[in-house]
Amino acid sequence: MEEKQGNAPENADAKIGKDLEKELEGKDPTDTFGNIIYGSFRDGVRQPDGEEVQMGEYRPSHPGGFWSLLVLIAFCISAVCGVYLSLQPSHCVNSAKGKHSFVTSGKSKSSGKEGIAWIKVRGVISEEDSNSPFARPSNASYISKRIREAAKEDRVKAIVLDINSPGGTVASVQDIYSEILRAKEKGKKVVALFRDVAASGGFYIAMAADKIVAEPGTITGSVGVIMQSGNVVGLFNKLGISVTPITSGKYKDIGSAYRPMTDAEKAILQDMVDDTYQQFLAAVKAGRP
């Protein structure tokens, strides 16, 4: 009698496994997930002695299977919602050439109504973008494309640049700046909306706008250019590591972190920074004379 009692849980588990095999025989493999969930639910309501609870009958059962089922369902729902929210652009409508946020004067987003194009500029302005397949494109080329598409639409009467950016790379910023000027040439009004930060490159692109709206606490300005170069010579010397560059020209490895920078190289880079700064300053003077 004691031996049978000790093997009872194993016999019950074996019976459950046989029942699952019978249920899965001859069924579509794509339905396996549903069968597993059903089996988990049945395990949660099965009594320790192997007797199943009939529909409509309440008996206390082992809570482990029930809570495992709830955790599984919650995980599946959260995963599906996460993928949906990542792929679904918020407050966007299809245009003839692509997608961009469009806000009308009324409550509806009917394609026949006039309105404004709302374009967000977030983070560092550059060509770098996330490698995730679920990430929304947000690099400089994408922002320029949205401005270009909005400028072509007759129903778009104005463009709002919603900026929250500490700056970016020179060429990427200038690309967006040029697209704003071209949109204005086509008769579009452009408003720059400053959020927490609109500094350096974020401030640069706003200079092409007709109007700037900022909060009292917005951090803005930083009209300037910076270039930085690290140096790991001291660290490499302690580790016994050396790097030997083979170049095709005297300044090919300018800015290298594996050797000290020469005075001539510093002068070249300083000239580049000064020239870029003059371009920035000219944009500020043209936009805010």
Task: For 263-284, give the DSSP string.
Answer: HHHHHHHHHHHHHHHHHHHHHH
Q: What pLDDT is stored for residue 3 in this prediction?
A: 46
For 63-77, 124-138, 243-257, which range has the lowest pLDDT when averaged over its residues?
A: 124-138
Average pLDDT over residues 148-176: 95
Show the domains of the chain with their CATH numbers: 2-87 (no CATH), 92-222 (3.90.226.10), 223-289 (no CATH)
DSSP SS3 for 204: helix
Task: For 129-156, give the DSSP string.
Answer: ----TTSPP-SHHHHHHHHHHHHH-TTE
Identify the band that residue 183 occupies on the pLDDT scale cut at 50, 70 and 90. very high
For 13-22, 100-109, 232-241, which range has the lowest pLDDT when averaged over its residues?
A: 100-109
Alpha-carbon gap, residue 187 to 193, rounded angstroms: 19
More reliable by pLDDT, 67 or 231: 231
Flag whether the pTM goes above 0.85. Answer: no
Question: Contact 203/223 with Cβ under 8 angstroms?
Answer: yes
Question: Contact 183/258 with Cβ under 8 angstroms?
Answer: no
Alpha-carbon gap, residue 70 to 88, rounded angstroms: 27
For 10-19, 134-143, 208-217, 252-261, which range has the lowest pLDDT when averaged over its residues?
A: 10-19
Identify the band that residue 93 occupies on the pLDDT scale cut at 50, 70 and 90. very low
Alpha-carbon gap, residue 95 to 102, rounded angstroms: 9
**DSSP 8-state class, residue 190:** E
Average pLDDT over residues 58-69: 60
* Catalytically active residues, by annotation: 200, 252
Average pLDDT over residues 87-115: 50
Average pLDDT over residues 78-84: 72
Annotate 9-24 with b (16+ C-beta within 10 A) or e (fewer): eeebeeeeeeebeeee
Written as six digits, the tokens of 70 are 């709830």
Identify the band that residue 73 occupies on the pLDDT scale cut at 50, 70 and 90. confident
**DSSP 8-state class, residue 50:** S
Alpha-carbon gap, residue 45 to 59, rounded angstroms: 8
Alpha-carbon gap, residue 98 to 147, rounded angstroms: 11
